[in-house]
Chains A and B, each alone.
Chain A
Amino acid sequence: MTSLNTYRAGPDERGHFGIFGGRYVAETLMPLILSVEKAYAEAKNDPAFQAEFRTLLKQYVGRPNPLYFAPRLTEAFGGAKIFLKREDLNHTGAHKINNCIGQILLAKRMGKERIIAETGAGQHGVATATVCALFGLKCVIYMGATDIERQAPNVYRMKLLGAEVRPVTSGAATLKDAMNDALRDWVTNVADTYYLIGTVAGPHPFPAMVRDFQCVIGDEVRAQMLEAEGRLPDSLVACIGGGSNAMGLFHPFLDDASIRIIGVEAGGHGLDKLHAASLTGGRPGVLHGNRTYLLQDDDGQIQEAHSISAGLDYPGIGPEHSWLHETKRVEYVWVTDDEALAAFQQVTRLEGIIPALESSHALAHAAKIAGQLPKDHLMVVNMSGRGDKDVNTVARALGDTFGGLL
């Protein structure tokens, strides 16, 4: 597989990355999936669509966001120069908005009037509710009851933005179950509804389309690093739940063979206990419209994932990541809840930046390896979102009640 000329050509015309990806959906949805594919193929090649997307990213999202050299983290880690890609500075506080801008323009182009989405941490729900407010479209967000509890501030933000948040109580009441209910809604309201999937997963064309909209992250990093250091980075590190922030950073660099690329999964309580590390702890299967690595038992039943980070608490991963894992172009590792919590605090104290618990996984792995790397090694860590939403979760995990304030 190392003889591939490019890692950027996928998927094939049926939406497959090697054996991964595809369109494993109920027949009711197939005509709609095919029309999304056709509409996106046209939009992608339409300069007017691309221009509107770029303009909104600049004027509404606030791009480009900085590639920030983090001096105190670099000193603390004691090796590689650490650069943080500041997706946390985007409007709505995470990378999720990049994709939402792209897809809402597509939904509008397709004449859809009602938008549905699933959310785990609430960041994608907030970003979806935001673009629906911007374009005056009806918005329904499916969110697991467990997540509603641990991400209460985001739930209220969605309501303020005019979205209806529907609690999902089936299964463990987290992201996987929210996705099931969103699919049930879509199959029932197929005529007027657009499902704005928040990550690089689901049936084709979503994994490729969401990737394309998120590639602005890596494209900016390339230009910014060339300007700052006069050369490309040596390594890239990003956290992975479904994997959209990671894919957005990684994809523009996949064919730069010298760059080490590392995806960090959520190891939860450890791989021998409850976790969400689908690539390290799972095997290929079919769920939610695609074939990919899944946490499952011997009988092919899907297992519940666990992560302290609601955004990573999912038993699957985007299919292109599964392919990059098997082709070994990207290295996939995991860190535990405790390691992510430690990184959360360290980065907050040293840089004055509160990272999302999701992003804290990437930071925790950077902390592990940066010290062994030379001082001229340029490492980019994706600060995929800000951590304000996680303050309650962190306080609870640290046993800190602030005198009952939280």
Chain B
Amino acid sequence: MSRMEARFAKLAAEKRAALVTYSMAFDPDRAASQELLNGLPGAGADIIEFGMPFTDPMADGPAIQYAAQRALAAGGTLRGVLEMIANFRQGDNETPVVLMGYYNPIYSWGVEKFCADAAKAGIDALIIVDLPPEEADELLPHCRANGIDFIFLTTPTSDDSRLPTIVGNASGFVYYVSIAGITGTASASATAIGDAVSRIKKHTSLPVCVGFGIKTPEQAAEVARLADGAVVGSAIVQAAADAKARGENPAQAALALVRELAAGVRGARG
């Protein structure tokens, strides 16, 4: 059983949804983002999405765009990102880590070699924003060969004719992008999210995690009642950035928010 399957089995036994967190590697620098990463399981993150910085994050709003710029300015490289995850794995062999970002750095590395190196570093899954099902066949076989889940995105524009194409090759979980838009901006209504999750579940037996626009513990709790996981990204990234601007510890500020989000998710179905 993969770390991802084991985690969802544990969550099912606890009858609760997952808190999925996103933070950007090397933001605002390597030490702070390592401190944040290593502290996430203790703060209540069930699944960790770790962002690879990219110069042209076309699907991201300002919070994550700036994070990527800070990360690159701090010397962020894909090699460094893998080293950070390997470091994390020395203290945690259970929490699934999803590497999230854009395709070009991976393509540049070489997809076959990258998948092998990523598995070795302890990565469980990939979310590649600009690799839709139509192009994913160049990466999928190498993911499978190395036991890495490729997480497909579904969106409000994925209708019933499109969904089978998307979930046909999915493993790990299915990510529902709850708004048509970029990260860290608008939020969807609970009704819209509930309807979408039910529709997606007609096409797959995999867990469905919902992201985009979830910023507060209340919103996370609401989504946790409707789906198998709530993903929070921009709010965590922003909390770290704001703390840094105030001269406070960015990692600890982000972890404080994660603890609140975790309490929200854990209390959601109570």
Contact = CB atoms under 8 A, between A and B. Distances in A.
Contacts of B57: 180
Contacts of B78: 299-300
A100 B228 CA distance: 46
A287 B104 contact: yes
B254 to A, nearest CB: 23
Interface residues of B, number: 42
B56 A300 contact: no
Interface in A1-28: 14, 22-28
Interface stretch (A52-60, A184-192, A305-313): A184-192
Contact of A299 (B105, B155, B181): B105
B139 to A, nearest CB: 11
A27 B182 contact: no
Nearest to B59: A26
A399 interface: no
Is chain A's interface secondary structure helix, strand, loop, or mixed overall?
Answer: mixed
A188 B106 contact: no
B154 A302 contact: no
A300 B106 contact: yes
B104 A300 contact: yes
A170 B130 CA distance: 20
Nearest to B161: A31
B157 A300 contact: no
Contacts of B153: 26-28
Contact of A171 (B55, B103, B132, B155): B55
A286 interface: yes
Contacts of B166: 27
B195 interface: no
Contacts of A291: 107
A184 B55 contact: no
Interface in B152-171: 152-159, 162, 166
Contacts of A27: 132, 152-155, 157-158, 166, 177
A269 to B, nearest CB: 21
A45 interface: no
A346 interface: no
A32 interface: yes
Interface string A153-180: 0000000000000000011000010001
Given A296-B108, A300-B104, A300-B108, 7 more contacts: A26-B153, A30-B133, A176-B56, A183-B58, A285-B108, A300-B78, A300-B107
10 contacts: A14-B134, A22-B134, A24-B135, A28-B156, A184-B59, A285-B107, A287-B104, A299-B105, A301-B72, A302-B104
Leading 3 A-B pairs by shortest Cβ distance: A300-B108, A300-B105, A188-B181
